[in-house]
């Protein structure tokens, strides 16, 4: 990004970012499935951190991170269009330029994991950064906590050894998944380390991935009554 342009407009950019943060906080605060304001806050801060190692448009990164879960498809009958639409409406009110709005909407639309066998990725560094930040929050200790929060929210079994993980071949199949919470580790979380885009996120993902592996080892030990 042209930093002289950013500096010249920094006051206005900060206003937009802070008002967007407040907009998202009011909408998502207190949500109990792990897709709450504090998830968005962590993604926002992680995206800013990763941006230090990349040459990216900071305003796009911040706004996309803040708005990425404004209306997650998981809570709208699988409709992927609602989130980008709400984001676009908000950004128009904030008088963000059309090109940046289109870019942010495309990031929001493409950010989600869509199944183990579904190929996809971000085409811009800003999208890669925000996607990495979101995926980092899905793994490690916080990722484990969020996974069980969401499983409880959906009424899923904790674990059932008779139900095997499914490596979904399409987004439609993934959206209809009824697997157990433990299966979700194999269907998504343990795959994310190798799907990170940026070098810094790849480094950060290793420790969090290893933590999940340790958790699962302990889980099975206790499940099997190994004392």
Mean pLDDT score of the chain, rounded to an integer?
Answer: 91
Distance of alpha carbon 122 from alpha carbon 103, whole angstroms: 11
Expressed as residue numbers, the domain containing 205 is 3-223
pLDDT reported for residue 168: 81
pLDDT reported for residue 140: 98
CATH code at position 214: 1.10.3210.50
* 50 within 8 A of 137, measured Cβ to Cβ: no
Task: Measure the CA angle with vertex 76, ends 72 and 78; round to 5°.
Answer: 85
44: its two tokens: 């926002």
pLDDT reported for residue 81: 85
pLDDT reported for residue 223: 97
Token pair 């897709």 is at which residue?
35
Structurally, how many domains does the chain consist of? 1
* pLDDT tier, 88 (very low <50, low <70, confident <90, very high otherwise): very high
Higher pLDDT, 53 or 120: 53
pLDDT reported for residue 8: 59
* 146 within 8 A of 137, measured Cβ to Cβ: yes
pLDDT tens-digit readout, 140-195: 999 999 999 999 988 999 999 999 998 887 777 777 778 899 999 999 999 999 99
Helices (H), the chain: 3-8, 10-28, 37-51, 58-67, 82-93, 98-110, 125-136, 140-153, 171-175, 181-187, 199-223
pLDDT tens-digit readout, 4-34: 556 658 889 999 999 999 999 999 999 888 8
Q: pTM of whole model > 0.85? A: yes
């Amino acid at each position: 990004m042209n930093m002289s342009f950013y500096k010249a407009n920094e006051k206005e950019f900060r206003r937009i970012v802070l008002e967007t943060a407040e907009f998202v906080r009011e909408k998502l605060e207190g949500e109990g499935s792990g897709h709450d304001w504090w998830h968005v806050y962590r993604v926002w801060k992680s995206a800013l951190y990763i941006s230090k190692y990349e040459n990216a448009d900071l305003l796009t990164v911040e706004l996309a991170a803040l708005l990425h879960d404004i209306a997650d498809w998981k809570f709208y009958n699988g409709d992927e269009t609602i989130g980008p639409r709400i984001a676009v409406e908000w950004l128009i009110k904030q008088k963000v330029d059309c090109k940046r709005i289109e870019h942010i909407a495309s990031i929001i639309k493409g950010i989600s994991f869509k199944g183990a066998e579904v190929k996809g990725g971000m085409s811009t560094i800003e999208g890669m950064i925000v996607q990495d930040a979101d995926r980092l929050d899905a793994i490690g200790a916080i990722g484990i906590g969020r996974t069980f929060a969401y499983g409880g929210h959906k009424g899923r079994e904790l674990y059932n050894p008779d139900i095997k993980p499914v490596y979904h071949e399409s987004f439609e199949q993934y959206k209809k998944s009824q697997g157990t919470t433990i299966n979700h580790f194999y269907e998504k979380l343990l795959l994310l380390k190798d799907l990170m885009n940026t070098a810094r996120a790849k480094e950060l993902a290793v420790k969090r991935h290893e933590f999940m592996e340790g958790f699962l080892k302990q889980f099975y030990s206790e499940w099997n009554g190994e004392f």
